[in-house]
Amino acid sequence: MTDHFAAFRQATAHPGRALKSRAPHWGLLIAFALTSAALLPPISLHAAPHPATSSSQLVAPKLGMFRSPDGFRLHAGESGWLQTPPPAGNSTILTVYRSPKPESRASLTVRVDRLAREVTAERYVQRWLKDYPRFGFDVLGTQAFTQNGLKAQVIDLINRDSKMQLRQIVFVNESQKRAAILTCRDLTDQFADSLKRCNSIIKSFEW
């Protein structure tokens, strides 16, 4: 795989290190972060698939493989995490990868934003970036990278109220007018290890 994700991953050994800083608008991207910063409701790791959801026809549970109707795919890689159905009643989350430890809050959520027009990953992120602090997030930094020829953006965040740390990865398919948003989260003091697990999943992303 020829890409720049390996260089981007160097920052994960020191998740508290700010990436390329940007000047820090309430929108869908922030809504995704707010939902991810809150503790997702408990989900049985052995729950039966729901009809017509990502956990039934489009997912191979044994491989942790998720295939989106929008054309992208990813899998659990070497993370050791389990792919689970989205929370009941939440139509914005397509699928969730979770730590198998019952007490863990670590997870990676996958969502899609359908765009009105073509936009680059950088412009998509910049549109909302300055409003994160209004909703309790400290923006540690952002950084661009390329994976499998697809341009993407990283946003590193800490939620002051919940003591949660997040990393959002935004992949934009300009021709399809779609943005895939992967949000990795865990408690701040456990985030370094969880980020390594998330990166194993993120690097499997293809569109």
92 CB burial (10 A radius; 0-12, 13-18, 19+): middle
Q: What pLDDT band is residue 130 in, cutting at 50, 70 and 90? A: confident
pLDDT at position 32 is 57
* Domain hosting residue 180, numbered range: 5-202
Bigger pLDDT: 34 vs 156? 156
pLDDT at position 30 is 60
Residue 31 lies in a domain: yes
Query: Whole-prediction pTM value?
Result: 0.74
CATH of the domain at 104: 3.40.1000.10
Residue 162 lies in a domain: yes
Q: Residue 87: pLDDT above 90?
A: no
Q: Residue 68: pLDDT above 50?
A: yes
The most confident of 3-7, 113-117, 202-206, by mean pLDDT: 202-206
Q: 5 — phi, psi (to 5°)?
A: -65, -35
Residue 207 lies in a domain: no
Number of domains within the chain = 1
Contact (CB, 8 A) for 195 and 167: yes
Exposed e or buried b per residue across 145-180, where buried means at least 16 C-beta atoms within 10 angstroms of its C-beta: bebeebbbbbbbbbbeebebbbbbbbbbbbeeebbb
Q: Which residues pair with 187 in a beta bridge?
A: 164
Q: How many Cβ atoms from other residues are within 10 Å of residue 85's Cβ?
A: 22
Tell me the CA distances in angstroms from 60 to 17, 48, 90, 164, one per residue in order: 36, 13, 21, 30
Residue 172 lies in a domain: yes
pLDDT at position 63 is 66
The average pLDDT across 77-97 equals 89
Q: Residue 24: pLDDT above 60?
A: no
Residue 183 lies in a domain: yes
pLDDT at position 160 is 82
Residue 26 lies in a domain: yes
pLDDT-wise least confident of 48-62, 75-89, 145-159: 48-62
Q: What pLDDT band is residue 9 in, cutting at 50, 70 and 90? A: very low
Q: What is the pLDDT of residues 91-101, one digit of tens each?
A: 788 999 999 99
Contact (CB, 8 A) for 180 and 110: yes
Residue 76 lies in a domain: yes
Q: What pLDDT band is residue 35 in, cutting at 50, 70 and 90? A: low
pLDDT at position 129 is 87
Q: Find the radius of gyration of the CA atoms of the chain.
A: 16
Residue 131 lies in a domain: yes
